[in-house]
Amino acid sequence: MNTYSPRIVHVRPELDRMAEYVPGESPEAFSVRTGIPVSCLIKLNSNESPYGPAPSVLSALSDHRWYNNYPDTNATVLRTALSHYTGLDGRFIILGHGSMEVISLLWHIFLAAGDNIICCPPTFSLYTSVTTLCGAYILEVPRSIDYEVDVEGILEALTPETKMIVLCSPNNPTGNPVAEADVLTLLETGRIVVVDEAYVEFSDRPRGYAHLVPQYSNLVVLRTFSKWAGLAGLRIGYGLFPEWIGAYMRRAQCPFEVNVAGHIAAIETLNDLDYVFGNVRKIVQERDRVYNVLASQPYLEPIPSQGNFILARVINEDVDILRVRAILESHGILLRYFSHPYLRDFLRVTVGLPEHTDQLAHALSKVTG
């Protein structure tokens, strides 16, 4: 590179106000930082499944012989399987390289410079980075004291430039779902209402709001195989779209986005639902234990969750969250911590295996012990 030439090409100015999305730390990076070997770590910071893919998924992946060929862009087989799973016709389904790719495409389809979207913090922070990349803005309508979406507040915040209202249900990181009445009220605004259902399989209503998609021209439901199906590393997600939006999504998407391994893993998962939902049930049961462990610490206040994670607040003024973090990290336990002002005193725990809960309980008891 010639370091003497003046820069005559500049990146778009919105990149300068774009905060990088900071995911949960990887075991490799954690290990380098702390000196604790990867094999000793308990990773409870990214809401991944402790059970991993179904054995049938792993054997289908290793039996496949045609990785030299591009994937089926129409996802003929997977679309049919997903259609059975969601109860929706295949024409409503768009697949993506993780639901994050679906989010990114959807945002780029609707958001131009100066537009805005409404988000209800505390919520998933990726929405913010993609919005900024589009040159658009976030209007934050904070949740109420019990983390409910403030529907009145959203209606008041709408501007002519508001293109989308983004809801996450169950919400990451608070764990509570959005009420159907609230979704219906917001659909009346005519804005695109996005319901991100990344955790719906762990909730009391595992079918979520998919059934509403064919009835509304402005409702989008996002799903993923990353969490409940244990496929985060393979990057496969999908969205349920009104047909007119789906047509633009197809136009905007690069062909072959979902790789062959993702197709195979998703298809086999849907063929083996009894097994995979057995694991989901184990996680939902374990969630009660994790809740009790958190609630029994005098310095923590957990929030009931319908996801595979629980958010808890450090409520004792004598206990510093940095100290809690240091103690947990010395035990090799990775949790999620936040920099957003709403979440400074909070930690989020992914529900893992029963033995992970035991070790978490042991490490948390050292904070006051």
Give yes or no for residue 312 binding ligand PLP (CB under 6 A).
no
When the beta carbons of 130 and 363 are compared against ligand PLP, the nearer one is 130
x/- mask, ligand PLP, residues 90-119, rule CB under 6 A, reads --------xxx-------------------
Buried b (16+ CB within 10 A) or exposed e, 101-126: bbbbbbbbbbbeeebbbbbbbbbbbb
CA distances from 251 to 52, 89, 122, 218 (A): 33, 20, 33, 18
Q: Is residue 232 within the footprint of ligand PLP (CB under 6 A)?
A: yes
**CB of 141: closest distance to ligand PLP in angstroms?**
17
- Identify which of residues 276 and 364 has a Cβ nearer to ligand PLP in the complex: 276
Residue closer to ligand PLP, measured from CB, 97 or 363: 97
Residue 302 binds ligand PLP (CB under 6 A): no
Q: Which residues contact 216 (CB under 8 A, 6 or more apart)?
A: 187, 193, 242
CB of 236: closest distance to ligand PLP in angstroms? 7
Phi-psi region of 158 (alpha: psi -120 to 50; beta: other; left: phi over 0): beta
Query: Is 237 one of the binding residues for ligand PLP (CB under 6 A)?
Result: yes
234 binds ligand PLP per the rule CB under 6 A: no
Contact 41, 231 (CB under 8 A): no
Which residue number, 41 or 232, has a Cβ lying nearer to ligand PLP? 232
Please check whether residue 51 is in contact with residue 230, taking contact to mean a CB–CB distance below 8 angstroms.
Answer: yes
Q: Which of residues 207-226 bind ligand PLP (CB under 6 A)?
A: 224, 226
> Nearest Cα to 350, choosing from 41, 3, 20?
41
The minimum distance between CB 97 and ligand PLP, in angstroms, equals 8
Q: Which long-range contacts does 87-91 make (Cβ < 8 Å, 24+ apart)?
A: 87/207, 87/210, 87/211, 88/210, 88/211, 88/213, 88/214, 88/240, 89/214, 91/243, 91/246
Q: Examine residue 49 and tell whether it contacts ligand PLP (CB under 6 A).
A: no
Residue among 124 and 346 whose Cβ is closer to ligand PLP: 124
| Shortest CB 365 distance to ligand PLP, Å | 29
Reported as type and span, the H/E element at residue 295 is: helix 273-295
Kindly identify the residues of this chain, within the stretch 238-277, that bind ligand PLP according to CB under 6 A. Answer: none
Binding site for ligand PLP (CB under 6 A): 47, 98-100, 124, 168, 172, 196, 198, 224, 226, 232, 237
